[in-house]
Chains A and B, each alone.
Chain A
Amino acid sequence: GQNIDQPTEMTATEGAIVQINCTYQTSGFNGLFWYQQHAGEAPTFLSYNVLDGLEEKGRFSSFLSRSKGYSYLLLKELQMKDSASYLCAYTGTASKLTFGTGTRLQVTL
């Protein structure tokens, strides 16, 4: 079967670091994506991991462990505008994205 899990909500302080975890189970796996979605808007691409390890892109980093079915998104130097939902999604043998329910991040002062 297919399953993808991430926490429903997280809260963090402006300027801090937050890690959003995602675990997945699928019989076929190709790559792991992270998208940001502000309320009422479209998902916006953040990162893509195919191989194990850490991908860094400015304030955002994403990690993948294929053997553990685990990924995380790391956000550094949090800003108020980072308050959004963060969607974990994978592709398998087909190209469709299978999404988790998303983690709603609230950044506070």
Chain B
Amino acid sequence: SQTIHQWPATLVQPVGSPLSLECTVEGTSNPNLYWYRQAAGRGLQLLFYSVGIGQISSEVPQNLSASRPQDRQFILSSKKLLLSDSGFYLCAWRHGPNTEAFFGQGTRLTVV
């Protein structure tokens, strides 16, 4: 069966510090991978998605970047965090367009 791992679960970082969140998927190959953010009181905002190694689509201009160095690994990064980067970050995968997405447990990021 397929599983998705996302870590860390919580993170408190100072403004201006770097960020690296990692997501890995097991039990499948060539998944579509996604990073979403849920800000307080808001919906799920799509940040990045990837259909293959090295292929990243960016949805929202921001202080973040994403990379996919391996088929089942998706990384969300920032060189310098802003207060507005605080939120609940979710990684997800799915097989293709007409299938459901499966989410990780999320990372609560607080920038102080």
Tell whether A pairs with B.
Answer: no
